[in-house]
């Protein structure tokens, strides 16, 4: 009686233990398979990122993404900067606070689509080319400030030629609101601006102001990338010599702030002339003039100091953009190593 009473219980318990053990084994096997699959995916991703064409492409992708993020952050400041440069030719107030207050909040992001397209082309090219040039220079030998300067100037000039149409569209969109209502083009987005300019002025008009744009980009890249790379190199050298140490984030912040100042100082005069030309202020005696003619016109009519009008606003726009761009680019570079 006792055996018959306990056998079913024993069988049920035994069966439960078998099921539990089987489930544990299956779970362990599944966990091992997941872990193995995860490891294989990680190794596959690492192998994919190490493939030669991806290694060559990543600096361009990282550069474009970082530039677009930075542009979305500083677009309102850039809008105020452009309005300062355009207002100075009409005798209007150039006080950045006054201009910012006089603009509806909706206008602060006017031209954002053009700004993002410009970064997708221009910053993708300039940071990608700079990293590519630096990589080749490092393989060729020791890299100093001269090599960094050459890499920055070359990358900036080539990228500016590619990005000029988007840059022109950005200026046209940002300045459109200053015109009388009946003269406005009322661009809806960057592609509307590009097609409208092409239809009315021809394809070559998309490269109006290309000379100062290239000069500005070369000056900005020289100030930003060469000084950023050099400052970061010097900070690392000081750390190795036993001076106050900084972590990677602090080095990037300090280096980008230094780079922002020199980028602003070298590039602002070219940026000023570029804005005037793209706005249409490069006409003298009824004839369109180039960069030199526009610069001489400004110097003659408004004084040489006009080229540095709005330097504070320009620096506030350039420095955060440089810092965000370089921080994001460094982070993306670390992620994709």
pLDDT at position 62? 86
pLDDT at position 13? 54
Domain ranges within the chain, ordered by starting residue:
1-50, 60-335
pLDDT at position 9? 47
- pLDDT tens string, the chain, 337 residues long: the values are 444 444 454 455 555 555 555 545 555 555 555 556 545 555 555 565 667 767 778 888 888 898 899 888 888 888 887 777 777 666 677 777 888 888 777 777 877 888 888 888 888 998 889 988 988 888 888 888 888 889 989 999 999 999 899 888 888 887 887 788 888 888 888 899 999 999 999 999 999 878 888 888 898 888 888 888 888 888 888 776 666 667 777 887 888 888 888 888 888 888 888 878 777 666 677 777 888 888 888 888 888 888 888 788 788 777 788 778 878 887 887 777 6
Closest CA to 223 of 321, 117, 133, 135: 321
pLDDT at position 3? 47
CATH number of 60-335: 1.50.40.10
The three-state DSSP-derived secondary structure of the chain is CHHHHHHHHHHHHHHHHHHHHHHHHHHHHHHHHHHHHHHHHHHHHHHHHHCHHHHHHHHHHHHHHHHHHHHHHHHHHHHHHHHHHHHCCCCCCCCHHHHHHHCCHHHHHCCHHHHHHHHHHHHHHHHHHHHHHHHHHHHHCCCCHHHHHHHHHHHHHHHHHHHHHHHHHHHHHHHHHHCCHHHCCCCCCHHHHHHHHHHHHCHHHHHCCHHHHHHHHHHHHHHHHHHHHHHHHHHHHHHHCCCCCCCHHHHHHHHHHHHHHHHHHHHHHHHHHHHHHHHCCCEECCEECCHHHHHHHHHHHHCHHHHHCCHHHHHHHHHHHHHHHHHHHHHHHHHCC
Does the reported pTM lie above 0.85?
no
pLDDT at position 48? 54
pLDDT at position 325? 84
Contacts with 40 (C-beta within 8 Å, 6 or more apart), sequence order: none
| CA distances from residue 249 to 108, 184, 246, 281 in whole angstroms, order as listed | 30, 45, 8, 42
pLDDT at position 158? 92
CB atoms within 10 A of CB 194: 20
pLDDT at position 32? 57
């Amino acid at each position: 009686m006792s055996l018959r009473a306990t056998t079913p219980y024993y069988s049920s318990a035994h069966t439960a233990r078998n099921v539990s053990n089987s489930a544990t084994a299956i779970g362990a096997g599944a966990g091992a398979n997941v872990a193995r699959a995860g490891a294989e995916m990680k190794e596959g991703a690492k192998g994919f990122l190490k493939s030669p064409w991806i290694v060559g492409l990543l600096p361009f992708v990282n550069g474009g993404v970082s530039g677009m993020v930075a542009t979305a952050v500083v677009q309102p400041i850039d809008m105020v900067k452009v309005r300062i440069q355009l207002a100075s030719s009409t005798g209007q107030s150039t006080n950045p606070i006054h201009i910012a207050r006089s603009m509806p909040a909706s206008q602060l992001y006017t031209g954002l689509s053009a700004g993002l397209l410009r970064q997708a082309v221009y910053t993708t090219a300039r940071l990608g080319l700079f990293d590519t040039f630096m990589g080749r220079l490092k393989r060729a030998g020791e890299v100093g400030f001269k090599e960094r300067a050459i890499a920055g100037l070359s990358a900036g000039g080539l990228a500016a030629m590619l990005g000029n149409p988007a840059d022109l569209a950005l200026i046209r969109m940002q300045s459109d609101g200053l015109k009388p209502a009946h003269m406005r083009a009322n661009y809806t987005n960057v592609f509307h601006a590009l097609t409208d300019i092409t239809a009315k002025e021809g394809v070559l008009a998309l490269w109006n102001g290309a000379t100062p744009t290239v000069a500005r980009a070369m000056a900005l890249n020289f100030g930003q990338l060469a000084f950023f790379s050099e400052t970061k190199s010097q900070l690392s050298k000081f750390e190795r010599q036993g001076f106050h140490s900084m972590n990677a984030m602090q080095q990037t912040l300090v280096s980008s702030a230094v780079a922002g100042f020199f980028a602003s100082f070298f590039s602002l005069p070219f940026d000023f002339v570029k804005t005037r030309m793209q706005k249409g202020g490069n006409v003298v005696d009824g004839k369109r003039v180039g960069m030199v003619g526009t610069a001489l016109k400004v110097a003659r009519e408004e004084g040489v100091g006009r080229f540095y009008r709005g330097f504070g606003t320009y620096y506030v726009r350039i420095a955060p953009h440089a810092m965000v761009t370089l921080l994001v680019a460094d982070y993306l570079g670390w992620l994709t190593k």
